[in-house]
Chains A and B, each alone.
Chain A
Amino acid sequence: MTARRVMGIETEYGVSAPGDPAANAMLMSSQVVNAYAAPLGSRAGRARWDYEDEAPLRDARGWEISRDSAHSSQLTDAPDDPGLANVILTNGARLYVDHAHPEYSSPEVLTPRDIVRWDKAGERVMLEACRRIAANPGLGDVNLYKNNTDNKGASYGTHENYLMRRSTPFADVVRHLTPFFVSRQVITGAGRVGLGQDGTGTGFQISQRADFFEVEVGLETTLKRPIINTRDEPHASADKFRRLHVIIGDANLCEVATLLKVGTTNLVLAMIEDAAFTRDLSLERPVGTLHDVSHDPTLKQQVTLRDGNSMTALELQWLYFEQASAYVSDRFGDDADEATTEVLTRWESVLSRLGEDPMLCARELDWVAKLRLLEGFRNRENLNWDAARLQLIDLQYADVRPEKGLYHRLASRGQVEQLVTDAQISEAVHEPPHDTRAYFRGRCLARYGENVAAASWDSVIFDIPGRGALQRVPTLDPSRGTKEHVEALLQRCRTAADLVDALAAE
């Protein structure tokens, strides 16, 4: 499977009312979702999320914790406030309020480039919501940030989701993924001004999220965050698949960083599934090392392996790259698919230049782009790392508005490399990917929105006039319901009733 795989990416956005730090975050988050969804009209903007199949308390290690022992923030399938906004979009994504943040969960896609495309579409959705709130005289302004911390002790996530074979031993996932996650931040870090969870330590670090990780493996996502999260909610046939829920990534704005984040992880997962690793790279102290690596933007920090060797995080990434590259040429020779080849080529190129001078990656990696901006400003203004204006640059880098967001200012000057075109992103705001079940979900919303009562990753529920019961169409296999599978069927069925009847007859 290599760099291709069923996957999705979710981002909780920072939300704030300028000038009003006490503003209610849950309320603002609902406003964001509603501002976007309401004008979609009909039912398309109102189709509810179907919670039936969610089991957030199931653990990949094989047990299920009882609801009593769960922290209330883990009970995501029973929101305190049923009115909390939660909608499905015609591009197959989910837009909702998670705790106190608006969240965009991308539709399922198959390639790293499509992750980039539908993740960028999510940024557009947030921007649109922000604009509509600003245009509404009845509402105060709401700013949205694609980042992961307020620098005062709070963190919120960007989660990657990967479909994996259930038969792969989870211990292998933990063994090979942990050192990979500890070291991949040299590529995927989004950069942060401030050290420690509350950001009071002075300095710049590579990752937004690193300091918030406290344990190696676990089920929690809001406290005692683990490097490997064991949430086991497959949204697919549980006997065949698991959905690996990765919570350690930073929110990236740079498209190359996003591409490499999921692309390289896919390669590592493919090797784990194929038992192709020839070397155990387990670390001596994964959590402490995660922090240490993040705190050294010169990339000199040493990482100690359990076998006694030590090296830098960059060198550890090289070891993963070497094995992945050998694996791909061994299995596929010259026939590796384009997505895989692109990821390997870019991975190698970025690692080489990080070794030479990290600044050579300023067009591709967020932490480098941000650091370059900060260093330039610091030199000009002669500032220390604790200057408020540097923290402001860090924050504003992630503002979703093109006129305020510093990432967007860089992009508009052609100073970051873009992989997908503006037109491709605009299209992805409305259109679902063609090659997963998201196609069926999104198209049902677009075509029969009036009659879609609810939907989830693995179902679409129709409410058809004249039929007493709701009609639930399960979509348990993420690779079915593609354009190829259902386009003709959907074209043939003018109404939702036609569709339900046609499916029942199959």
Chain B
Amino acid sequence: MAGQEQQRPTRRDDEPADDAAPAAPPAGGAAQTTDADVDAILDEIDDVLESNAEEFVKGFVQKGGQ
């Protein structure tokens, strides 16, 4: 996988701003998640997770589907 000189396709920076995209919705990334967000959810997670993880995971057995 090393040494590939393939030119990297990137957004067409050279073109005038996105001709096909008027009224761009705010990109979802605009509001990034922060470390504080992760901490907040991790503080909660112990109460949310089912107790006895090993047994619970083992007990989740499905039949195949489509």
Taking Cβ atoms with an 8 Å cutoff, the residues of A that contact B are 12, 14-16, 18-21, 25, 98-101, 145, 149-157, 159, 221-223, 247, 256, 300-302, 309-311, 315, 318-319, 322, 325, 328-329, 332-334, 336, 338, 340-342, 344-346, 348-353, 359-364, 372-373, 376-377, 380, 387-389, 391-393, 395-396, 403-404, 406, 409-410, 413, 415, 417
Q: What distance in Å separates the Cβ of A187 from its nearest Cβ neighbour in chain B?
A: 12
Known: A344-B20, A346-B28, A349-B27. A155 touches B33 (CB 8 A): no
How far, in whole Å, are A319 and B19 apart by their CA atoms in the complex? 17
B34 nearest CB neighbor, chain A only:
A415
**A392-B62 in contact (CB<8A):** no
Which A residues lie within 8 Å of B56 (CB)? 18, 392, 395
Known: A150-B60, A156-B62, A372-B33. A364 touches B40 (CB 8 A): no
List the 5 closest A-B pairs by CB distance, nearest first.
Answer: A156-B65, A100-B63, A150-B62, A349-B27, A318-B9
Q: What distance in Å separates the Cβ of A201 from its nearest Cβ neighbour in chain B?
A: 16
Which B residues lie within 8 Å of A100 (CB)? 62-63, 65
Which B residues lie within 8 Å of A353 (CB)? 27, 29
How far, in whole Å, are A341 and B45 apart by their CA atoms in the complex? 38
List 19 interface pairs A-B (beta carbons < 8 Å), by A numbering: A18-B59, A21-B58, A101-B65, A154-B62, A154-B63, A155-B64, A309-B6, A310-B4, A315-B6, A328-B20, A332-B20, A348-B21, A349-B28, A353-B29, A363-B31, A364-B28, A364-B29, A373-B42, A415-B33
Known: A155-B65, A406-B45. A342 touches B59 (CB 8 A): no
Q: What distance in Å separates the Cβ of A387 from its nearest Cβ neighbour in chain B?
A: 8
Which B residues lie within 8 Å of A256 (CB)? 28
**A334-B48 in contact (CB<8A):** no
**B29-A98 in contact (CB<8A):** no
Interface string of B26-39 (1 = CB under 8 A from A): 01110111000111
**A363-B48 in contact (CB<8A):** no
How far, in whole Å, are A21 and B56 apart by their CA atoms in the complex? 9
- 8 Å CB contact of B38 from A302, A344, A376: A376
Which A residues lie within 8 Å of B32 (CB)? 360, 362-363
Which A residues lie within 8 Å of B37 (CB)? 413, 415
**B49-A363 in contact (CB<8A):** no
Which B residues lie within 8 Å of A247 (CB)? 66
**B20-A341 in contact (CB<8A):** yes
Which A residues lie within 8 Å of B48 (CB)? 396, 403-404, 406, 409
- 8 Å CB contact of A334 from B10, B22, B27, B57: B22
Q: What distance in Å separates the Cβ of A336 from its nearest Cβ neighbour in chain B?
A: 6
How far, in whole Å, are A342 and B21 apart by their CA atoms in the complex? 7
**B64-A156 in contact (CB<8A):** yes
How far, in whole Å, are A341 and B21 apart by their CA atoms in the complex? 5
How far, in whole Å, are A361 and B24 apart by their CA atoms in the complex? 17
**B65-A157 in contact (CB<8A):** yes
B4 nearest CB neighbor, chain A only:
A310
**A16-B62 in contact (CB<8A):** yes
**A389-B53 in contact (CB<8A):** yes
Known contacts A155-B64, A223-B64, A328-B20; 10 further A-B pairs (Cβ under 8 A): A99-B64, A154-B64, A247-B66, A302-B4, A349-B27, A360-B32, A376-B41, A380-B42, A413-B37, A415-B41
**B63-A99 in contact (CB<8A):** yes
B58 nearest CB neighbor, chain A only:
A21
A16 nearest CB neighbor, chain B only:
B60
Which B residues lie within 8 Å of A153 (CB)? 64
B39 nearest CB neighbor, chain A only:
A376
Which A residues lie within 8 Å of B9 (CB)? 311, 315, 318-319, 322
How far, in whole Å, are A215 and B29 apart by their CA atoms in the complex? 36
**A12-B66 in contact (CB<8A):** yes
**B49-A396 in contact (CB<8A):** yes
How far, in whole Å, are A340 and B40 apart by their CA atoms in the complex? 36
Which B residues lie within 8 Å of A156 (CB)? 62-66
Known: A154-B63, A396-B50. A377 touches B45 (CB 8 A): yes
**A352-B11 in contact (CB<8A):** yes
**B11-A348 in contact (CB<8A):** yes
**B53-A388 in contact (CB<8A):** yes
Q: What distance in Å separates the Cβ of A255 from its nearest Cβ neighbour in chain B?
A: 10
- 8 Å CB contact of B21 from A16, A345, A380: A345
- 8 Å CB contact of B62 from A25, A336, A373, A389: A25
Which A residues lie within 8 Å of B53 (CB)? 387-389, 391-392
Which A residues lie within 8 Å of B33 (CB)? 359, 362-363, 372, 415
**A373-B38 in contact (CB<8A):** yes
A322 nearest CB neighbor, chain B only:
B9
How far, in whole Å, are A328 and B9 apart by their CA atoms in the complex? 18
How far, in whole Å, are A332 and B19 apart by their CA atoms in the complex? 10
Q: What distance in Å separates the Cβ of B28 from its nearest Cβ neighbour in chain A?
A: 4
Which A residues lie within 8 Å of B1 (CB)? 300-302, 310
- 8 Å CB contact of B66 from A222, A302, A388, A406: A222
Which A residues lie within 8 Å of B24 (CB)? 341, 345
Q: What distance in Å separates the Cβ of B66 from its nearest Cβ neighbour in chain A?
A: 4
